[in-house]
Amino acid sequence: MQVPFLDLKTQYKSIKNEIDPAIQNILDNTAFILGKAVSDFESSFAKGHNVKHCIGVSSGTDGNHLALWALGIKAGDEVILPANTFIATAWGATLCGAKPIFVDCESDSYNIDHTKIEAVITKKTKAIVAVHLYGQPADLDPLREIAKKHKLFLVEDCAQSHFAEYKGNRVGGLSDSASFSFYPGKNLGAYGEGGAVTTNSDELAKKVKMLRDHGAVQKYNHEMLGHNYRMEGIQGAVLGVKLKYLDKWTEGRRKVAQKYIELLKGIESIILPKEMNYAKHVYHLFVIQVKEGGNKRRDDLVKYLGDNGVSTGLHYPIPLHLQPCFKDLGYRKGDFPITEKLAECGVSLPMYPELSDDQIVYVCDSIQKFFIG
Ligand SMILES: Cc1ncc(COP(=O)(O)O)c(C=O)c1O
């Protein structure tokens, strides 16, 4: 049996009768950049996340930049973020000219460890970025307390956590500003690049709108420095259709995760993801860890699964503090042991709502055979 890591075709086929006319409508109206489809999507997405404003942008990376840029983060500032995340979280800081300061993750949630933050706060620190990694919200209450105590901004990177909940509230409106990615493989994916910034602040929303559109409200009147970070009309149209299915797809992902957990819990050699008691996990990724044997055993498992038709992913094989681009920051191997262990021993299993029971059973049987025979 073949089990791809991701299957976007099956999902497209299931909504083709709505997607195709939505795209055709953009072509007919030549509404290629921003326009009604984007603003309709922005309103629905903001409502879905219980947040006042959503500003559609060109990618999650651009959203990471805008969320910090609009808060005034600039050269000479420091921004605290987890070492265990995708590189784009750090680009948010570096694109503002600020220095990323990394912190290890917790061993159970895999999100930023709030107990390690105060030790790295300096006079230059301006913001903390909480990433809701793999679809599980970071523990926001202690982060909010630290941010308040030290007068720092708190920003959420929600690229992997559409509709995830922290203590019953959806992420995206639980901090000063937040960013989302609509990269095609995300829980809510566009048919190209796309992202959003969300905030409850009227002032910040106005600023993000200007920054994404050359620093202007009125064409050719550039009140501030800006960039072109606008969302395309086709992406707004696609996202508008897909958003209606996100609740159903999220429940589908949670069911897949439950089934994985049920079938894999007896295998002593692996650690399964844990849904924290404050979180509703939306399982963008389902990451297991190989307990013993390190990198070699993990790579053997990946190869064995691949040889048997099961595609897997690694998220993320090189932690941010060990990336060549951050060599000058002076971090070393051993600085963040939990993040490093995850990089060495983590494997992401196929995860999407359309995975069939047969496929899930096959993946789990294959893992069982690798470890137990
Ligand atoms: C945690 C995180 N932040 C930011 C991004 C950047 O999003 P995009 O690919 O839309 O630029 C991603 C995308 O993979 C991500 O996983």
342-356 pLDDT, tens digit per residue, is 999 999 999 999 999
Calculate how far, in angstroms, residue 293's C-alpha sits from the geometric centre of ligand 1.
30
CA distances from 167 to 112, 242, 251, 284 (A): 17, 26, 18, 19
AA letter at 12: Y
**Average pLDDT over every residue of 180-185:** 98
Share of the chain above pLDDT 90, in %: 99
The residue whose CA has the least distance to atom 10 of ligand 1 is: 60
The pTM (predicted TM-score) of the whole model is 0.98
Calculate how far, in angstroms, residue 76's C-alpha sits from the geometric centre of ligand 1.
24
Mean pLDDT across the chain: 98
Alpha-carbon distance of 364 to 322, in angstroms, equals 32
Calculate how far, in angstroms, residue 42's C-alpha sits from the geometric centre of ligand 1.
19
Calculate how far, in angstroms, residue 194's C-alpha sits from the geometric centre of ligand 1.
10
From the CB of residue 165, how many other CB atoms can be counted at a distance below 10 Å? 18
AA letter at 146: I
Alpha-carbon distance of 56 to 87, in angstroms, equals 21
| Residue of 160, 161, 188, 282 to mutate, ligand 1, most atoms within 8 A of C-beta | 160
Give residue 27's pLDDT band: very low, low, confident or very high (50, 70, 90).
very high
pLDDT of residue 373: 84
User: Is residue 75 exposed (0-12), middle (13-18) or buried (19+ Cβ within 10 Å)?
Assistant: exposed
Q: How large is the C-alpha radius of gyration of the chain?
A: 21
Pocket of ligand 1 from Cβ distances under 6 Å: 59-61, 64, 85-86, 88-89, 131, 157, 159-160, 181, 183, 195
Alpha-carbon distance of 7 to 248, in angstroms, equals 17
**Average pLDDT over every residue of 22-43:** 98
pLDDT digits 0-9 by tens, 113-140 = 999 999 999 999 999 999 999 999 999 9
